[in-house]
């Protein structure tokens, strides 16, 4: 039955328009999770053109890497309760996948697994083991661990207007690193605890008074958090796997209406798999005003024009399109420390081009044009072009200064005087020449 | 500012009993036990914002009961939430409740608990969150609280590069100044002045004895 389903799905993908240009995804699915229960999520991915390959955590094939080369472009780890994996999946191998530009989507759980310690490496602080997130608000018929969470509209990753999503799992606290991208925060009334009855309220208060990390509560906790690495690969840690399931995508909210789970997980998957907010620098060039070629070196006080061309990836056409939407790009002209930092505004009329004109400092040395743009959720843009700046050559200084007129006058008049004297001396007769001179002949 | 009534109605249909807050009182006192301010909290209107100095103490007492006139209960969750709307910082402080539902919370600014969030000159909105496995939950907005400003939390060293950095303009060396051309002209004339002296002397010699100046005349 599953084979027939997957055959049908692959047939459908062959006929539908492929949006993601057939990226390969490996889904490590725990055998305790039923693949049919996640059909909305996986079906949505396949409809967007991803090739999904499924395996269990303990299977040795298909391996995620072969001799260090990743076999898949993206990996989904839906094995939140598994404590032991096959040899190819270790926290170290997952980190090396990220440095090879493979993106990861990882589901965590209240249980302590190797994935929990991997999350800690990304500045996510997990709560004590076996303390799931519970919330008594709003009043509902579902158990306290199944919580509807409002989605804030401030993240650039999510489309605005997503209804509340159902969540079951563990929260985490966010470290201070700016490379973390919070996607979903816990509701203010929720907290992490393993209690099941009112009698445990004293234990809650004592736990918080103990000091250390105290009580895990409030909206400062994260439930789904992303992390963008230095090589622009992305990883998302979700506090629970149930929010991806069909059951939660169709469960009615306590205030009525359908939940936003399907929309939310689609947006999250689109960001992790580099469909959204993916930018790159196509080219940078620099030259003097009035020229078009980059010179081998600049002179101090030159007027320099710097242009950067930036594109964004468009998933609908699977191509890179020029992107002029960055309004806070900055250029630094640096020699050990930035000497000049200006904004690099987009050129109106030229999509994707950002240009600025500035005057080179009057210090000579080896400078760099540094473009370093980092914002939460977007790819990092980094570019560095080294260029020498030399002082003016001996004949580039201003000549014939007015202050030198006395010297010109002196030099010329000395030469003229010498010439005049020599001419008069040679031309003049000596009076009273002796007759002797004529006798000699 | 207003109670959240809608879920209360829903809760009434779900469960018979709901949690409610009785006789909330607050007291602000100084270290030498003089009372600065003391009042009961009205559950329909927020009082004037409370202000605590660096050594003052705020004492809050209340009782949780099952519906308005019921017996006291000890709910699972009795949290005080301190929320700074402007910065988004939040702190959650659990309050110990006796089995009879009586609760007392003390905030001593000389030794504040770790759950108080970083504060600025903006007030903190203080609310009480009640939750239970057997009763319908409740939430009350209590008052606004001004606390002394705290140190800002330490920033990650990379945080600045994720925002717009201040612009840097290079101050160039001032342009080389040259003296006015008029002054240069005067000195050039001074340099050429010996020629005038020479011509004057030659004319003088010519006046004395024309023969002496033959060479000049011959050249001319």
Q: How far apart, in whole angstroms, are the C-alpha atoms of residue A84 and residue A63? A: 15
Task: Tell me the C-alpha distance between A380 and A279, whole Å.
Answer: 8
pLDDT band of residue B152 (cuts 50, 70, 90) is confident
Nearest-Cα residue of chain B relative to residue A359: B170
pLDDT value, residue A82: 87
pLDDT for residue A39: 94
Going by C-beta distance under 8 Å and a sequence separation of 6 or more, which residues neighbour residue A247?
Answer: A37
Contacts of B152 in chain A (CB under 8 A): none
d(CA A419, CA A401): 26
Q: Where are the domains of chain B?
A: 18-146, 184-219
Q: How confident is the model at residue B218 (pLDDT cuts 50, 70, 90)?
A: low
Q: Is residue A82 helix, strand or coil?
A: coil
Q: Can you give the pLDDT at residue A4?
A: 65
When CB atoms are compared, the residue of A139, A328, A401 closest to B14 is A139
CB B6 within 8 A of CB B28: no
Q: Specify the DSSP element, H or E, that contains A364.
A: none
The DSSP secondary-structure symbol of A145 reads: T
**Do the beta carbons of residue A300 and residue A361 sit within 8 Å?**
yes
- Which fold would CATH assign to domain B18-146? Immunoglobulin-like (2.60.40)
For residue A213, the distance in angstroms to the closest alpha carbon of chain B comes to 9
**Residue B18 · residue B12 · CB < 8 Å:** yes
Chain B contact present for A254, CB below 8 A: yes
**CA nearest to B138 within chain A:** A137
**B59 to chain A, closest Cα gap in Å:** 18
Calpha distance A325→A323 (Å, rounded): 6
What is Dmax (Cα atoms) for chain A?
150
Residues of B in contact with A200 (CB under 8 A): 76
Burial zone of A294 (CB within 10 Å; 0-12 exposed, 13-18 middle, 19+ buried): middle
Interaxial angle between packed helices A2-15 and A39-47, expressed in degrees from 0 to 180 and rounded to the nearest 10 = 30
Q: What is the ipTM of this complex?
A: 0.79
Q: Do B191 and A342 touch (CB under 8 A)?
A: no
- Over residues B161-209, the pLDDT tens digits come to 999 999 999 999 998 888 999 999 999 999 999 999 999 998 888 888 8
The nearest alpha carbon in chain B to A410 belongs to B191
pLDDT at B140 over 60: yes
pLDDT score for B187? 95
pLDDT at A17: 41
Which residue carries 């290079």 as its tokens?
B170
Would you say residue B11 has pLDDT above 90?
Answer: no
The residue of A199, A201, A303, A336 whose CB has the most chain B CBs within 10 angstroms, and thus the best one to mutate to test that interface, is A201
Residues A324-353 have pLDDT tens digits of 999 999 999 999 999 999 999 999 999 999
Chain B residue closest to A141 (CA)?
A: B14
Inter-chain contact A208–B131, Cβ cutoff 8 Å?
no
- Rounded to whole angstroms, how far apart are CA atoms A103 and A119? 15
pLDDT at B8 over 80: no
B215·A338 Cβ contact <8 A: no
> Hey, is the C-beta of A101 within 8 angstroms of any chain B C-beta?
no
Instruction: Identify whether the C-beta of residue A281 lies closer than 8 Å to the C-beta of residue A371.
Output: yes
Helices (H), A215-282: 246-250, 261-272
Contact flag A138-B172 (C-beta cutoff 8 Å): no
**Taking CB atoms and an 8 Å cutoff, what residues of chain A touch B187?**
405-406
As a whole number of angstroms, the distance between CA A28 and CA A63 comes to 10
Interface contact flag, A136 B79, Cβ < 8 Å: no
Q: And the tokens for B146?
A: 């001004």
Distance CA A374, CA A329 (A): 9
- Per-residue model confidence (pLDDT) at position A307: 95
Which residues in chain A are closer than 8 Å to B155, comparing Cβ atoms? 176
What parts of chain A have a pLDDT lower than 70?
1-22, 211-214, 429-441
Alpha-carbon distance of B117 to B88, in angstroms, equals 10
> pLDDT by residue (tens digit) across B107-132?
988 888 888 888 888 999 999 999 88
- pLDDT at residue B41 in the model: 87
CB pairs under 8 A between A and B: 168
Question: b or e along A40-68 (b: 16 or more beta carbons within 10 Å of the residue's beta carbon)?
Answer: bbbebbbbbbbbbebbebeeeeebbbeee
Q: Which two tokens stand for residue A326?
A: 């960055």
pLDDT tens string B82-113: 999 888 889 898 888 888 889 999 998 888 88
Sequence length of chain B is 220
Tell which phi-psi region holds residue A297, choosing left (phi > 0), alpha (psi between -120 and 50) or beta.
Answer: beta
Chain B residue with CA closest to A408: the answer is B188
Report d(CA A14, CA A22) in Å as an integer.
Answer: 10
Q: Return the pLDDT at A16.
A: 44
Q: Note the pLDDT of residue A295.
A: 93
pLDDT at B220: 47
Stretch 208-247 of chain A: residues touching chain B, C-beta under 8 Å: 208, 211, 214-215, 217-220
* Interior angle at CA B140, CA B137 and CA B141, nearest 5: 150
Distance between CA atoms of residues A189 and A135, nearest Å: 6
Instruction: Determine the pLDDT at residue B127.
Output: 92
Q: Cα–Cα–Cα angle for A392, A394, A399, nearest 5°? A: 100
């Amino acid at each position: 039955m599953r084979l027939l389903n997957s055959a049908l799905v692959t047939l459908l993908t062959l006929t539908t328009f492929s949006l993601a240009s057939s990226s390969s995804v490996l889904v490590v699915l725990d055998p305790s999770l039923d693949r049919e229960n996640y059909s909305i999520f996986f079906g949505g991915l396949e409809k967007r053109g991803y090739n999904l390959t499924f395996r269990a955590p303990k299977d040795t094939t298909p391996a995620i890497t072969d001799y260090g080369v990743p076999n898949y472009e993206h990996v989904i780890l839906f094995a939140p309760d598994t404590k032991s994996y096959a040899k190819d999946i270790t926290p170290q191998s997952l980190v090396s996948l990220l440095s090879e530009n493979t993106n990861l989507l990882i589901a965590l759980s209240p249980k302590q697994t190797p994935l929990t310690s991997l999350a800690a490496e990304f500045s996510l602080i997990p709560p004590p083991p076996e303390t799931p997130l519970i919330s008594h608000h709003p009043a509902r018929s579902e158990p306290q661990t199944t919580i509807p969470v409002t989605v804030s509209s401030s993240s650039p990753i999510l489309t605005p207007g997503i209804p509340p999503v159902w969540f079951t799992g563990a929260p985490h606290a966010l470290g201070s690193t700016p490379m973390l991208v919070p996607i979903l925060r816990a509701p203010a009334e929720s907290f992490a605890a393993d209690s099941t009855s009112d009698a445990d309220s004293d234990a809650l208060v004592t736990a918080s008074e103990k000091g250390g990390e105290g009580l895990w509560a409030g909206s400062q906790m994260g439930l789904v958090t992303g992390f963008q690495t230095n090589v622009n690969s992305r990883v998302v840690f979700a506090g629970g796997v149930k929010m991806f399931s069909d059951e939660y995508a169709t469960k009615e909210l306590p205030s009525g209406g359908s939940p936003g789970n399907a929309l939310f997980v689609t947006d999250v998957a689109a960001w992790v798999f580099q469909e959204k907010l993916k930018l790159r620098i196509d080219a940078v060039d620099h030259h003097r005003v009035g020229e078009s070629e980059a010179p081998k070196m600049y002179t101090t006080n030159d007027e320099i024009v710097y242009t950067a061309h930036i594109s964004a990836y468009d998933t609908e056409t699977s191509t890179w399109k020029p992107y002029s939407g960055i309004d806070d790009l900055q250029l630094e002209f640096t020699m050990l420390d930035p000497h000049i930092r200006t904004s690099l505004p987009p050129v109106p009329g030229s999509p994707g081009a950002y240009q600025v004109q500035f005057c080179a400092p009057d210090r000579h040395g080896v400078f760099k044009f540094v473009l370093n743009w980092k914002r939460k959720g977007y790819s990092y843009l980094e570019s560095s072009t080294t260029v020498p700046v030399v002082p003016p050559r001996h004949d580039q200084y201003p000549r014939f200064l007015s202050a030198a007129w006395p010297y010109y006058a002196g030099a010329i008049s000395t030469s003229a005087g010498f010439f005049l004297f020599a001419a008069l001396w040679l031309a003049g007769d000596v009076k009273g020449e002796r007759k002797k001179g004529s006798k000699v002949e | 500012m207003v109670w959240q009534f809608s879920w209360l109605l829903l809760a009434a249909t779900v469960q018979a009993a709901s949690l409610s807050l009785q006789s909330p009182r607050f007291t602000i006192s100084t270290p030498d036990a003089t009372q600065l301010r003391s009042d009961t909290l009205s559950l329909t209107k927020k009082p004037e914002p409370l202000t605590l100095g660096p050594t003052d103490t705020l004492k809050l007492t209340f009782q949780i009961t099952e519906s308005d006139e019921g017996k006291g209960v000890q709910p699972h969750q009795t949290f005080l939430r301190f929320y700074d709307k402007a910065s988004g910082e939040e702190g959650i402080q659990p309050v110990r409740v006796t089995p009879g539902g009586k609760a007392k919370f003390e905030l001593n600014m000389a030794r504040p608990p770790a759950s108080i969030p970083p504060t600025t000159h903006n007030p903190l909105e203080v609310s009480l969150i009640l939750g239970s496995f057997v009763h319908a939950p409740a939430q009350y907005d209590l008052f606004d609280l001004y606390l002394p400003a705290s140190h800002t939390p330490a920033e990650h060293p990379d945080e600045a590069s994720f925002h717009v950095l201040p612009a840097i303009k290079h101050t160039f060396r001032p342009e080389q100044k040259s003296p006015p051309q008029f002054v240069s002209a005067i000195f050039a004339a001074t340099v050429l002045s010996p020629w005038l002296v020479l011509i004057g002397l030659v004319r003088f010699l010519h006046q004395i004895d024309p023969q002496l100046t033959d060479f000049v005349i011959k050249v001319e």
